[in-house]
Amino acid sequence: MPDLLVLDHVTAGYGLGDVLHGVDLTVAEGEVVCLIGPNGAGKSTVLRTVSGLLRPGGGQVRLRGEPVDHLSPRERLLRGIAHVPQERSLFPAMSVWDNLLMGGHILDRGRAGRAAVRERADTVAEQFPIVAARRHEAAGSLSGGEQKQVELARALMLDPALMLLDEPSIGLEPRARQAVFATVRALADAGRSILLVEQNARSGLAVADRAAVLESGRVQLNGTGRALLTDPRVARLYLGAKEGV
């Protein structure tokens, strides 16, 4: 599969020094790549650098072979990069349906634009039954897992080529967490490319085609999700198992 996203020796930080120190990473078409590692390793910084919330200090970010470092977050969104942050991002007082429509706000220009947004919303709602079932209810009345499903649905409103998911299972009970990961896998199986940051290493690796361990802003290990899931070093550090087990 051709590479959709390439990070080529990327460095980035927040003003007091670099957090990323020469990160090399690729995401192919229709692939889930999971980043795991300790807190502070730079996992979320990778996503912010790809989506344009943070400009790299060195190296290059390429989408479909074209550098995107100079583009704003809005321009990258229009190019097909959608970022679902770790923090809850729905408007709690707005209805589920209005939250979904917000995902297409860039398209909402005149009658034709509004019609395109409504048509896209209907298509997305078919993939996420919770949206249709609870469309008139305030988004804040949904459970954490249901809100995450709506966030994923909203991110699909511009039909992105690449989805950046930052800790989608954080704070969710086991059943809701399983539903989120099932959705991630279904999106990839339908051809969507996903770069996933996940603190729940076992679940993240299980759903991933490939994965990488990020430590101190550097990729220390990489391989298939299955290989890292059974790697004794990963098991000891991130899966709660003793080395050699």
- What are the tens digits of pLDDT across the range 103-146? 988 775 656 577 888 889 999 999 899 999 999 999 999 999 99
Instruction: Taking residues 19-29, report their average pLDDT.
Output: 97
In this predicted structure, what is the pLDDT of residue 244? 39
The total number of structural domains that make up the chain: 2
In a domain, 85, yes or no: no
SS3 for 28-69 is: ECCCEEEEECCCCCCHHHHHHHHHCCCCCCEEEEEECCEECC
Name the pTM for this structure. 0.92
Last residue of a domain, one of 154, 177, 204: 154
Higher-confidence position of 16 and 93:
93
Q: 66 and 9 share a domain?
A: yes
Which residues 6+ apart lie within 8 Å of 189 measured at CB?
30
Q: Where a domain ends, among 154, 179, 203?
A: 154
| Shared-domain flag, residues 51 and 116 | no
Is residue 53 located within the same domain as residue 13?
yes
Compute the C-alpha angle 205/202/206, nearest 5°: 40
CATH of the domain at 195: 3.40.50.300
At residue 239, the pLDDT reads 78
- The answer to whether position 244 is within a domain reads no
* pLDDT given at position 241: 53
Q: What is the pLDDT of residue 147?
A: 94
Q: Is the pLDDT of residue 198 over 50?
A: yes
109, 129, 154 - which closes a domain: 154
Q: What is the strand order of the sheet 218-224 is part of?
A: 81-84, 162-166, 193-197, 32-36, 210-215, 218-224
For range 56-82, the mean pLDDT? 95
Residues 181 and 67 in one domain: yes
- Condensed to tens digits (0 to 9), the pLDDT of residues 212-227 reads 999 999 999 999 999 9
Residues 127 and 169 in one domain: no
Q: Which residues pair with 172 in a beta bridge?
A: none
Domain identity same for 216 and 96: no
Cα 76 from Cα 72, distance rounded (Å): 6
Residue 86 belongs to some domain of the structure? no
Is there a domain that residue 25 lies in? yes
- Helix (H) / strand (E) containing 4: strand 3-13
pLDDT for the residue 236: 84
Same domain, 173 and 230: yes
Residue 141 lies in a domain: yes
Give pLDDT tens digits for 156-173: 998 999 999 999 998 888
**Shared-domain flag, residues 182 and 212:** yes
Q: Domain check: are 69 and 95 in the same one?
A: no
Above pLDDT 90, what percent of the chain?
78
164: in domain: yes
Give the DSSP letter string of 111-122.
Answer: HHHHHHHHHHHH
Q: Do 142 and 25 share a structural domain?
A: no
Is 172 found in the same domain as 227? Answer: yes
Domain that holds residue 225: 3-80+160-238
* pLDDT confidence of residue 109: 60
Give the span between the Cα atoms of 26 and 165, in whole angstroms. Answer: 15
Same domain, 184 and 74: yes
Judge whether residue 245 has pLDDT over 50: no
72 or 240, which is more confident: 72
The Cα 131–Cα 149 span in angstroms is 8
The 3-state DSSP class for residue 211 equals strand
